């Protein structure tokens, strides 16, 4: 499994490092960019103490990545890029080949390795007292698709939660050595893994040009409106109407001429029979686990995964301005989509297109944009567990920007602050 790192986990030993930060890339699989970003953030935050932190950015290849680059990612320590000789790759099929969902590597690569199992192994290497005797904390952080990876991994990792270290019934689970804290930081993901059948009712109010109030309710496919997208199967971007300039814009979503009107019988924004399949939901009621990837099937205590998730140290971060919706709300003119006033873009001429949010129905049932989905998910967790679990930071003045999220006060606290410090670290924190 190739990775970019500030040290070689197999050679630079024993290490003096006290903390390790994993930074998971987004859908573009640009691990080197993510590595460079987190390195700058660590240097800015810690100054001459950076030698105490190991930075690791795993690279989940598609086969095309290897063919296009035609080179190895195994480079010398002097270049801060390291890896292993055998380069695994994934195929991106949902969920069987999706690295975000813990899938096995492509069958032509090495299907015996899962994307989450690789992370388990790297964490356990860092937990080895002979190799990393001073290690005290491991942080797994990701933005966008990387945030999806970290959130799903935190849900189903085979690592025993530290809070349950003395539970003798969990002897089959992998264990990080006592004294090492593990934290999961989930930033601006397009979707989350829900823990039950509850989802959100809302719609678009064209008269007020805003989304309506979010109402939490149990979802049934027959209560969802039909014809949400013009391509109800296929890739995220093509499905949601992301047109290219040479093609006429075809209205979809709230503006589709075929979209079913709201009614008391069909209050949910869309209809989908697979709305709760992994990785959008659990759907673990089938005894044969027919819809699950191998990593989940091999989980020694899958029936307790939701309990474990509530016991883990998880922080969510969403940008205050990550409210974009691609061209979902129609177009004012060619290449000029309608956006919320709060929507952040990388340039006015690019409109809302650059955030490429997942607008498949299972994602839309979680809320209309990434910011709202993060807020909704915290309410979902509190409802599910009946108490406050985890924390959410709303990062002011930031949109869908990985480096801006993590270099903010909230981001630095999420990466470096201890539990007690976090409780009073930010006026933008929401707990439970």
pLDDT tens per residue, range 200-228: 999 988 888 889 999 999 999 999 999 88
Residue closest to 353 by CA, chosen among 231, 222, 249: 249
Q: What is the average per-residue pLDDT within 247-268?
A: 82
Q: Residues 312-340: pLDDT tens digits? A: 999 999 999 999 887 787 777 666 777 88
Helices (H), 285-408: 294-297, 305-311, 361-364, 370-385, 402-407
pLDDT band at 261 (very low <50, low <70, confident <90, very high): confident
Q: What is the average per-residue pLDDT within 88-100?
A: 77
Look at 385 and 294; give whichever has higher pLDDT: 385
> Hey, is 71 helix, strand or coil?
coil
Q: What is the pLDDT of residue 243?
A: 47
In whole angstroms, how far apart are CA 355 and each of 1, 133, 299, 324, 327?
A: 28, 41, 34, 7, 11
Using the predicted structure, report yes or no on whether residue 349 has a pLDDT greater than 70: no
pLDDT band at 294 (very low <50, low <70, confident <90, very high): confident
Helices (H), 205-275: 236-239
Q: What is the mean pLDDT of the chain?
A: 83
d(CA 89, CA 26): 15
Is the distance from CB of 397 to CB of 141 less than 8 angstroms? Answer: no
Residue reference for tokens 């795993």 = 58
Using the predicted structure, report yes or no on whether residue 423 has a pLDDT greater than 60: no
Residue closest to 38 by CA, chosen among 84, 6, 73: 6
* pTM to 2 decimal places: 0.89
Helices (H), 316-355: none
Q: What is the pLDDT of residue 324?
A: 87
Q: Residues 371-405: pLDDT tens digits? A: 999 999 999 999 999 999 999 999 999 999 999 99
In whole angstroms, how far apart are CA 165 and each of 151, 170, 180?
A: 21, 8, 12
Q: What is the pLDDT of residue 74?
A: 39
Query: Of the given ranges (33-37, 176-180, 420-424), which has the lowest mean pLDDT?
Result: 420-424
């Amino acid at each position: 499994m190739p990775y970019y790192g500030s040290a070689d986990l197999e050679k630079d030993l024993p290490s003096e490092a006290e903390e390790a930060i994993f930074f998971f890339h987004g859908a573009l699989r640009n691990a080197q960019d993510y590595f460079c970003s987190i390195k700058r953030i660590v240097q800015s935050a810690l100054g001459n103490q950076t030698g105490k932190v190991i930075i690791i950015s795993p690279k989940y290849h598609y086969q095309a990545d290897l063919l296009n680059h035609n080179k190895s990612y195994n480079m010398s320590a002097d270049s801060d890029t390291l890896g292993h000789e055998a380069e695994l790759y994934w195929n991106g099929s949902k969920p069987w080949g999706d690295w975000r969902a813990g899938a096995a590597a492509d069958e032509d690569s090495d299907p015996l390795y899962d994307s989450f199992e690789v992370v388990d192994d790297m964490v356990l290497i860092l937990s080895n007292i002979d190799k990393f005797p001073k290690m005290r904390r491991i942080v797994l952080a990701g933005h966008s698709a990387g945030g999806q990876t970290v959130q799903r991994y935190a849900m189903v990792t085979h690592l025993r939660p530290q809070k349950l270290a003395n539970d003798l019934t969990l002897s089959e689970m992998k264990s990080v050595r006592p004294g090492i804290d593990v934290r999961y930081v989930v930033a601006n993901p397009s979707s989350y893994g829900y823990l039950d059948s509850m989802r959100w009712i809302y719609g678009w109010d064209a008269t007020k040009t805003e989304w309506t109030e979010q109402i939490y309710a149990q979802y049934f496919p027959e209560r969802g409106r039909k014809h949400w997208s013009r391509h109800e199967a296929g890739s995220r971007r093509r499905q949601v109407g992301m047109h290219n300039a040479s093609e006429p814009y075809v209205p979809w979503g709230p503006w589709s001429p075929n979209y079913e009107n709201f009614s008391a019988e069909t209050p949910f924004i869309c209809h989908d029979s697979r709305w709760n399949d992994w990785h959008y939901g659990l759907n673990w009621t089938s005894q044969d686990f027919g819809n699950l990837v191998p990593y989940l099937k091999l989980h020694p205590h899958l029936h307790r995964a939701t309990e474990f998730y509530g016991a883990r140290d998880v922080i969510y971060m969403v940008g205050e301005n990550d409210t974009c919706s691609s061209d979902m709300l129609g177009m004012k003119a060619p290449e000029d989509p309608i956006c919320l006033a709060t929507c952040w873009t990388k340039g006015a001429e690019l409109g809302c297109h650059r955030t490429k949010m997942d607008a498949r129905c299972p994602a839309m049932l979680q809320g209309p944009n990434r910011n709202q989905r993060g807020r909704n998910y915290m309410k979902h967790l509190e409802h599910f567990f009946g108490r406050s679990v985890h924390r959410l930071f709303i990062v002011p003045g930031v949109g869908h920007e990985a480096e801006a999220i993590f270099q903010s006060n909230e981001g630095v606290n999420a990466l470096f602050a201890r539990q007690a410090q976090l409780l009073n670290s930010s006026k933008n924190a929401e707990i439970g």
